[in-house]
Structure 1
Amino acid sequence: MSVEAIVQGQLDAYNAQDIEAFIPHFADDITVSDLNAEPNLTGLDAYRERHVNMFAQFPGNRAELVSRTVIGRTVIDHERVFRSPDATPFEVAAIYTFAGDKIARVDFVKA
């Protein structure tokens, strides 16, 4: 499976708020950080917990893909995130870095 297909698969699962379909796209030692910052989350269990809580808090949450760039084994998504149907959306860039066929790191730029 291509890195682009893996990123799309996790985005589809994220938008469906299907944690069981979402988590397998990520490495056991997944690291999450704001760009150029220290990691704010490490490990698949913590990543699962973060998303279970977010999906519960924002049941209408979804991310709309604005654009995607693939450079080798790195995928950069520009997304518009809606926490609820009536909330003002916000923009993020998600930079996905791979180890094998799993996402090993995600760096976020938020606007």
Structure 2
Amino acid sequence: MTAQAVLAAKDLIQAQFDAYNAQDLDAYCAFFTDDVIVADLNGAVSVNGIAAYRAKYEATFAQFPQNKAELVSRMHVGGTVVDHERVVRSPGGETFEIICIYTLAGGKIARVDFAR
């Protein structure tokens, strides 16, 4: 993979991260393939397809309108980008850390595996 392709992968992940924090559902979902898969790391698939993904984050953004993620660290190898994030549901509210493993295909995110 070329340096330009790696940069593009990092830019893609950063752009979806920014759309997530802006709670811009249309922009956020545009970064994912139509057949996106979401799973717990080494666990069951929890979301299959963009319609289910959209519904999940529409509900999340409605339930937590002040939800924000802070990037702790990011690394990439080939078509995989791994983020360590700290998520705050609301000021003074629930906070948790999560690892997001993004698998890219065709210039979009095809799979996300979460470890929490």
- With the shorter chain as reference, the TM-score category is over 0.9
Q: Which residue number corresponds to residue 17 of structure 2?
A: 11
Q: Residue 88 of structure 1: CA displacement?
A: 3.6
Picking from 74, 77, 87, the partner of 2:80 is 74
Q: Matches of 1:41 and 1:21 in 2, distance apart?
A: 19
Q: Residue 85 of structure 1: CA displacement?
A: 0.7
Structure 1 consecutive aligned stretches of length 4 or more whose deviation exceeds 2 Å: none
- Is 1:54 the counterpart of 2:60? The answer is yes
Q: Which runs of 5+ in 2 are unaligned?
A: none
Query: Over aligned residue pairs, what C-alpha RMSD do you find?
Result: 0.9
Name the amino acid aligned to 1:90: F
Q: Matches of 2:46 and 2:28 in 1, distance apart?
A: 19
Picking from 70, 74, 85, the partner of 2:91 is 85
For residue 87 of structure 1, give the secondary structure of its aligned residue in structure 2: coil
Q: Which has the larger radius of gyration?
A: 2
TM-score by length of 2: 0.92
Q: Which runs of 5+ in 1 are unaligned?
A: none
Q: Matches of 2:35 and 2:85 in 1, distance apart?
A: 24
Identity among equivalent positions (%) equals: 53
Picking from 19, 26, 50, the partner of 1:20 is 26
Q: Which residue number corresponds to residue 38 of structure 1?
A: 44
Q: How many equivalent residue pairs?
A: 110
